[in-house]
Structure 1
Amino acid sequence: MKDIVSQVKDIAQKICEEFHLELFDVKYYNKSGRWFLEIIIDNPYDYISTKDCENVSRKLEFELDKINIIPNKYYLTVSSPGLNRPLRNVKDFERFTGKKAKIKTRENTYIGYIKNVVDNIITFETDGKFIEFKFEEIKKANLEIDI
């Protein structure tokens, strides 16, 4: 039998597709004796609006209540990946070309701008220098707020 997160992912994925959105992540956890189901959605063409979150939340709540797979009382939240969203794949780097980001490799941490992405090679500008990374060399990356 599938675990709760896997089942919720399947349901949330279908709901996101109905609204032309992408499912970014699902988390189910206990904090201070309370259970939380956190759904993170994304829009590959625009920003996530509060209406997007509301639509997914209402539909997901309805579907989860029908099948009753979560044994505990829980708090459901639906949100966007946020301003400092993780960059998890080459497609994310392509989408956010020109944006400020933080990249961590095994050796260093860099803050700068994503300049180009070609064949899994990310060109990054930091402190006036251009550095190229193979996607596989990046341990962690996220967008940074550009003030």
Structure 2
Amino acid sequence: MSRQVIEIVEKIAKPIVKEEGLELFDIEYSKEGANWFLRVFIDLPGGAVNLDHCSKVSEKLSKELDRVDPIPTAYMLEVSSPGAERPLKREHDFQRAIGKYVYLSTYAPVKGEKEFTGTLKSVEQESLVVEVEGERYQIPRSQIAKARLAILL
């Protein structure tokens, strides 16, 4: 059911987000304790999402969701930015992250390591190349458990 809800919400949200000059980054629909949450993450290409962006999308999306009523249970709608340490999921997420500081974890060790925090140097068909403290690691895509931008401290 969660997958179906996400697909329906995506069809409803995309035109609303686009109308605001934004990009739909991700949608999550999950139960936490007794409550259901519908989280819609929006992005501003080349900029930063602010509270005004989130509130406009939230208001418009809430009205449209009430009108269409695609979710049979009560839920809480949250609209926000994916954040500074946003996940890298789709191909264009990885492409945009080239040259940026990233965190990757793997299912199995690569050169004896399972966690990598460094600069994403390239995105290839089968792997990502990350430079960590001057050493390059070629990490097979099939081994990537988690990928996100990281904050350089």
TM-score, normalised to structure 2, is: 0.81
RMSD across aligned C-alpha pairs, in angstroms? 2.3
Q: Which runs of 5+ in 2 are unaligned?
A: none
Any idea what the Cα deviations from partners look like across 1:31-82, whole Å, max 9, x if unmatched?
2322221111122322211111111101101111112222333211001111
Deviates more, 1:79-88 or 1:131-140: 131-140
Q: Which runs of 5+ in 1 are unaligned?
A: none
Could you tell me which amino acid in structure 1 is paired with residue 135 of structure 2? K
Could you tell me which amino acid in structure 2 is paired with residue 131 of structure 1? Y
SS at match of 2:21: coil
| 1:123 counterpart residue number | 129
SS at match of 1:70: coil
| 2:52 counterpart residue number | 51
Per-residue deviation, 1:120 = 6.0
Tell whether 2:104 aligns with 1:98: no
TM-score, normalised to structure 1, is: 0.84
Matched pairs, number: 147
Any idea what the Cα deviations from partners look like across 1:105-146, whole Å, max 9, x if unmatched?
332221111123455653321021122335444332111111
Distance in 2 of aligned mates of 1:48 and 1:125: 29
Q: 1:14 to 1:146 in 2, by over 3 A?
A: same
